[in-house]
Amino acid sequence: MFRPLANLPASANVSEAVFVGEIPARWEQAVLKRFPKASIERVSDVKHLPGRAVDVVVFGVTPEPVTASDAEKTASAVMRCLERSGYLFVTDTHAAAELLPVLHKGLSRQRAARFDSSGAATYRHLGAGTLGDRLPEGYRVFYQNKAYLERDVAPTKNFFLTGKEPTWGSRWHYGPMWFEKYYGDDEPMLDWSEGPKRLVMWQTLSRLDVPKGWRKTRFTNHTKQTGFTVLDPSVPYERTWSSHARRHRAKWEKIKEDWEVFEPELEPFIAAYKDTKFDPVLKFLFIDMLREKVIAHGKHMRLFAIRKKGDGNPIIAGFAASDIPEEKQSKHFMSFIHQSAKQYPVGTALMDEWFRYALDKGYRFLDFGVFWAPGDPPSWKGFSKFKAQFGIFFLKYPLPLVRTAGSWRELLRSHKKKTPAA
């Protein structure tokens, strides 16, 4: 394989590519061989880029070298032409030396493939699923929020709030075994000698280094990838959606007068969920977790449902979200659609309602939860593909870091007292 293209996954869907400037013959041959059905457009410079976004942009040597004075304009034009999930290849980093620093600010540079000595650079949009991507300003994973954690652990007997500003986490135990977990790029700076002997896990977000005292591990069950949407009240929210999602929204607008979108009580919502064809064990677990979340978070748990207008019509689709007002975000918890409603765009309708609701509340982020990544169950792919239509910023998690903390003496003492040393 042509090494600079090794960053492209085998599943990459490339239907359009643009070659800018003079492209080395080996690049043209490699792209055409890898994507024989792709439509290729050649332009001499960025002034002639198409007015639409494409899957791949290959930036070669232009007739007029990019200078410091026009680097910003050139980078903006290239980024506008690049599809949200697309790839930018700069074939000659020496010739594009003035352009690279500007690209670094707005895009995410990919690590060079092993044994790649071509001198090329590969870029993707921030939030396209690159490990270590910078996060949007103001975004934090809700597990970092003290108020959320306090609500979450309050009704439980085995989970406890721990940590201090700016790193809050949770501590729990299964029998005599104790664990502790933190999220975020700020290293938990605690007295590691206090408390019962335990395994401490730290899930970083953008940070890829391993501070002293920690080590990476593959032996803990960790989320590989999540996704969220950044809300901007100055921009119509549907503008960030895929064309497919926008079409379904338009279909819903035409038929929504026949339907009712409302906030149901908990028990009718659960009864409708029970009528789905999901795995019985899965339904039991989600219903149990939903009841626990309602007890813990109360008014911050929001339920949405859809049914045909008219007396006695059943709920045919539902959506549950957990609000974290302290972080100005709302998180998807669970959702369902009855088989009888699959012919209608009710899934998109629920998303539309959630977006409207969040904007009315002044929220900045909608957290869509876990997305499928290599190694995850194949059954996750369908729902992940649906959620990916709504302007998602993908957060790919590094391997978690772990260390031990506490003392065996405190472990024995806490086991006898049945209380934590937190």
pLDDT tens digits along 367-401? 999 999 988 999 999 999 999 999 999 999 999 99
Higher pLDDT, 170 or 119: 170
pLDDT digits (tens, 9 = 90+) for 185-195: 999 988 888 88
pLDDT of residue 2: 66
Q: What's the CA angle centered on 387, arms 241 and 306, to 5 degrees?
A: 95
Phi-psi region of 274 (alpha: psi -120 to 50; beta: other; left: phi over 0): alpha
Count other Cβ atoms within 10 Å, centred on residue 246: 15
Q: Say if residue 224's pLDDT is above 80.
A: yes
Higher pLDDT, 12 or 171: 171
pLDDT of residue 11: 66
Q: Say if residue 304's pLDDT is above 80.
A: yes
pLDDT of residue 228: 98
Output the average pLDDT for the chain: 92
Higher pLDDT, 134 or 311: 134
Tell me what the mean pLDDT of segment 219-224 comes to.
81
Query: DSSP 3-state assignment of 327?
Result: helix
Tell me what the mean pLDDT of segment 139-161 comes to.
95
Query: DSSP 3-state assignment of 324?
Result: strand
pLDDT of residue 394: 98
Write the CB contacts of 170 (distance below 8 Å, at least 6 apart in sequence).
143, 149, 152, 153, 159, 160, 161, 162, 180, 181
pLDDT digits (tens, 9 = 90+) for 274-293: 999 999 999 999 999 999 99
Tell me what the mean pLDDT of segment 305-329 comes to.
96
Query: DSSP 3-state assignment of 146?
Result: helix
pLDDT of residue 114: 56
Could you tell me the pLDDT band of residue 232, with boundaries at 50, 70 and 90? Answer: very high
Tell me what the mean pLDDT of segment 167-184 comes to.
94
Q: Say if residue 237's pLDDT is above 70.
A: yes
Torsion, Cα 236 240 242 244, to 10 degrees, reads: -10
Tokens standing for 314? 């059943």
Q: Say if residue 101's pLDDT is above 90.
A: yes
Q: Say if residue 30's pLDDT is above 60.
A: yes
Q: Say if residue 37's pLDDT is above 90.
A: no
Q: What is the pTM of this model?
A: 0.90
Task: Count CA atoms closer than 13 A to 63's CA, side-chain side.
Answer: 6
Rounded percentage of the chain residues whose pLDDT exceeds 70 = 95
Range list of β-strands (E), 113-262: 121-125, 159-164, 167-174, 177-183, 198-203, 215-216, 225-230, 259-262
Q: Say if residue 420's pLDDT is above 70.
A: no
- Write down all domains in the chain, each with its CATH number in brackets: 3-125 (3.40.50.150), 142-222+400-417 (no CATH), 225-394 (3.40.630.30)
pLDDT of residue 74: 95
Tell me what the mean pLDDT of segment 28-55 comes to.
91
Could you tell me the pLDDT band of residue 421, with boundaries at 50, 70 and 90? Answer: low
pLDDT of residue 139: 97
pLDDT digits (tens, 9 = 90+) for 68-93: 999 999 999 999 999 999 999 999 98
Tell me what the mean pLDDT of segment 260-272 comes to.
97
Does residue 71 contact residue 99 with C-beta atoms inside 8 Å? yes
Scan for tokens 């800018």, then name that residue. Answer: 20
Please report, as a single letter, which amino acid is at residue 143: Y
Could you tell me the pLDDT band of residue 12, with boundaries at 50, 70 and 90? Answer: confident
Scan for tokens 């677990």, then name that residue. Answer: 285
